[in-house]
Amino acid sequence: MSELVAVGLNHKTAPVELRERLASGGDDLNELLAALRDDAGLQEAMVVSTCNRVEIYGVARSWAQAGERALRVLATRRGVAADELTRHAFVRGEREAASHIFRVSASLESMVVGEPQILGQVKDAFDLARSHGTVGPILDRCLSAAFRGAKKVRTETAIARGAASVPSVAVDLARSIFGDLGECAALLVGAGEMAQQAGVNLRSAGIASITVVNRSVDRGQVLAAELDAAFVPWEGLAEQLQRADIVIASTGAQRPVIDRALLRPVMRARRGAPIFLVDIAVPRDVDPDVLRLDQVFLYNIDDLQGIVADNLRSRGSEAERAGALLEGEIDEFLGWQRTRAIGPLIQRLNERARTIADGELERLGGRLRDLTPAQRKAVESLAHGIVRKLLHPPITALRGAAGGDDPYAARALAEAIEALFQLEGDEAPAAAPARAEEGGGEAAIPAPVPATSRTSR
């Protein structure tokens, strides 16, 4: 019986140091996909590897066992002790696996709920796995439905509305003041992570030009190249302040690097043109005293963090609506999966019954030789007709359970039919993979670890 499984670790379950050691890309990712198929026994597999998560989505005959094997493969390939990995990992099967995949794709499991990057990352992972031949009908249907659900969440809820990080809020504020940024010039004072994020957001907003000013020439030039920006040494700060419309300061200085003494001649040179200063540094980079100058607008990190908090609270309430929307998509996928899965079982049941009937007719062959062809055909029709009538109630019940609302009843009935008709050892036809039932949950990973350490929800 093929089942859906999701296994791995993410920002909710594991520290960044461990996530970094497990991250895969390029040839490593290609080899991992092959190992999951060949060594972990996954019938289908894909790997989502980002800075916040390393997760495997797959299909196997037993989701719990497959999850354990996948973790061992991941630990071995990345040189991580198995017990260290299991302390921070989760294994989910069937409905819990489907729910996780849908929620990750819709950004409900992201560090910043509603961020748009994860959907593209999951799509890239899916396309890579498909190009390597490790995506089959179940993952294909599941991920296609998950992408559709993610689009529905974005169009029917406000989960992505409102910037959710300090740098993105800074850019949103700039747009509220200047409108179209296509003719504006931005100055990044500092070249750290916050400056990098601000620069990315500025580029996404269509800024006309970006200049980076930084004390470290090497770091400043690296960021400038990354953002397709200009780099100016620290000594050119005052001159660049005269040219910039938007200034985002994020250095590691212990005292303000922009004060009223520096800015007074700058504003005279600007001839009344306003300047928008965003100070996202701690300690502050811009002395609040600059607000005494005309046409100077200043926001500090406390102002921006308040906006971020408001936006995140709004996203939290929208996340509940988004989760409810996804449940309908998840139910539809699992319903398809259950209905599709009974086909191979019914085929095996019919084949077993037909084999028995044909065997009995063959055994009686000597006694039937005096019958006319018409009489012999009537006996054969009688035997096969009795078989069909005997099988009609269990097949009808199986189809009804597969289309019903109780996945456990459908699974129990399927397993009972397999046992009663001795079908447990039969393999489903290769062209029609067996079912992955709804229900299930998290596996007990074989390690002395509290259960709470293995869940990411």
Residues 6+ apart with CB under 8 A from 30: 128, 132
Q: Are 433 and 137 in contact (CB under 8 A)?
A: yes
Say whether 184 is catalytic. Answer: no
Give pLDDT tens digits along the chain (457 positions): 578 999 999 988 998 789 888 887 777 888 999 999 999 999 999 999 987 899 999 999 888 999 999 999 999 998 999 999 999 999 999 899 999 999 999 988 887 777 777 899 999 999 999 999 999 999 999 999 999 999 999 899 877 665 556 787 888 888 878 888 999 999 999 998 889 989 998 998 899 999 999 999 999 999 999 999 999 999 999 999 999 999 999 998 889 999 999 999 999 999 989 999 999 887 889 999 999 999 999 988 787 767 766 766 767 778 888 999 999 999 889 888 877 767 777 788 888 888 888 888 888 877 777 888 888 888 888 888 888 888 888 878 777 776 666 666 777 777 788 788 878 655 443 333 333 333 445 454 443 333 333 333 3
Tell me the pTM.
0.62
Same domain, 180 and 295: yes
Give the per-residue pLDDT at 447. 38
The answer to whether position 389 is within a domain reads: yes
The answer to whether position 308 is within a domain reads: no
Q: Which of 15, 34, 38, 51 is catalytic?
A: 51
Cα-flanking dihedrals φ and ψ of residue 113, to 5°? -60, 130
Same domain, 413 and 449: no
Residues spanned by the domain of 206: 166-303
Same domain, 26 and 74: yes
Residues 6+ apart with CB under 8 A from 159: 107, 108, 113, 114, 153, 315, 318, 319, 321, 322
Angle at 105 between CA 92 and CA 134, to 5 degrees: 65
Same domain, 51 and 95: yes
Burial class (CB in 10 A: 0-12, 13-18, 19+), 190: buried
The answer to whether position 332 is within a domain reads: no
Give the per-residue pLDDT at 448. 31
Strand 3-10 to 90-93 pairing: antiparallel
Identify residue 404 by its one-letter amino acid code.
G
The answer to whether position 372 is within a domain reads: yes
The answer to whether position 326 is within a domain reads: no
Give the per-residue pLDDT at 162. 57
Q: Are 342 and 398 in contact (CB under 8 A)?
A: yes
Query: CA-CA distance, 281 to 163, in Å (whole number)?
Result: 18
Q: How many CA atoms lie within 13 A of 253 on its CB side?
A: 20
CATH of the domain at 12: 3.30.460.30
Give the per-residue pLDDT at 405. 63
Strand 185-189 to 209-214 pairing: parallel
Query: CA-CA distance, 246 to 175, in Å (whole number)?
Result: 10
Query: CA-CA distance, 132 to 127, in Å (whole number)?
Result: 9
The answer to whether position 315 is within a domain reads: no
Query: CA-CA distance, 303 to 286, in Å (whole number)?
Result: 14
Same domain, 188 and 265: yes
Q: Are 189 and 250 in contact (CB under 8 A)?
A: yes
Same domain, 269 and 198: yes
Same domain, 352 and 294: no
Give the per-residue pLDDT at 163. 52
3-state SS assignment for residue 188: strand
The answer to whether position 433 is within a domain reads: no
The answer to whether position 400 is within a domain reads: yes
pLDDT in tens, 120-165: 999 999 999 999 999 999 999 999 999 999 999 989 987 766 555 6
Name the domain count of the chain: 3
Q: Which helix (H) or strand (E) holds 300?
A: strand 296-300
pLDDT in tens, 422-455: 786 554 433 333 333 334 454 544 433 333 333 3
Give the per-residue pLDDT at 437. 34
Cis peptide before 283 (omega within 30 of 0): yes
